[in-house]
């Protein structure tokens, strides 16, 4: 692959929410790449933090276990539904799962929270985790059974590079076909 690095490490920060409880939303982040110069963005690391309160149940049922789930994903193409790491265009994901036990009196007796996210520091053996050839990268946020808006902060680490014509065409075609 013929890439020539044209910048030092750049960090891109964003904060997004899904706008409503238990909703799916997608937001584009403009990388301001120059397609005439066949410029790409080489992603070397991603950090995703949940900024909102842990998910609360929309309608907890007394005398049972209840759960709520929140997810965030960063992808190179605009998804129509929540993507995951099984999709080739996804660079990073994070999720938060809450489980509650509500007794018959409506009291919360047990609360468990599990959170998974991308590694904070990328493996030093990796050259990169993805290459973005089109100008936008997309943050997807989804929640299920939650009564709160999901809010997440994203930081993307990487650098700009110039690709040769064949490599650039292949990268753009790959992104377009994977959407």
Point out which residues pair with 71 in neighbouring strands: 95, 142
Q: Where are the domains of the chain?
A: 3-177
Q: Which CATH architecture is the domain 3-177 placed in?
A: Sandwich (2.60)
Indicate the pTM of the whole model.
0.86
DSSP 97: E
pLDDT band at 58 (very low <50, low <70, confident <90, very high): low
Q: pLDDT digit string (tens) for 80-96? A: 999 998 888 999 999 99
Q: pLDDT digit string (tens) for 7-43? A: 999 999 999 999 998 899 999 999 999 999 999 999 9
């Amino acid at each position: 692959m013929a890439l020539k690095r044209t910048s030092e490490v750049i960090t891109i920060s964003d904060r997004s929410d899904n706008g409503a409880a238990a909703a799916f939303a997608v937001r584009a982040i403009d990388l301001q790449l120059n397609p005439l110069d066949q410029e790409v963005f080489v992603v070397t690391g991603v950090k995703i933090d949940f900024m909102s309160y842990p998910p609360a149940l929309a309608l907890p049922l007394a005398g049972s276990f209840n759960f709520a789930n929140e997810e965030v994903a960063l992808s190179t193409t605009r998804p129509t539904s929540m993507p995951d790491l099984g999709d080739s265009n996804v660079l990073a994901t994070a999720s938060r799962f809450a489980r509650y036990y509500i007794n018959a009196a409506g009291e919360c007796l047990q609360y468990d929270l599990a959170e998974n996210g991308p590694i904070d520091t990328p493996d030093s053996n990796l050259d990169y985790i993805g290459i973005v050839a089109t100008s936008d990268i997309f943050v997807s946020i989804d929640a299920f059974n939650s009564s709160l808006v999901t809010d997440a902060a994203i930081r993307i680490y990487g650098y700009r590079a110039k690709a040769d014509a064949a490599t650039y065409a292949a990268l753009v075609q790959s992104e377009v076909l994977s959407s």
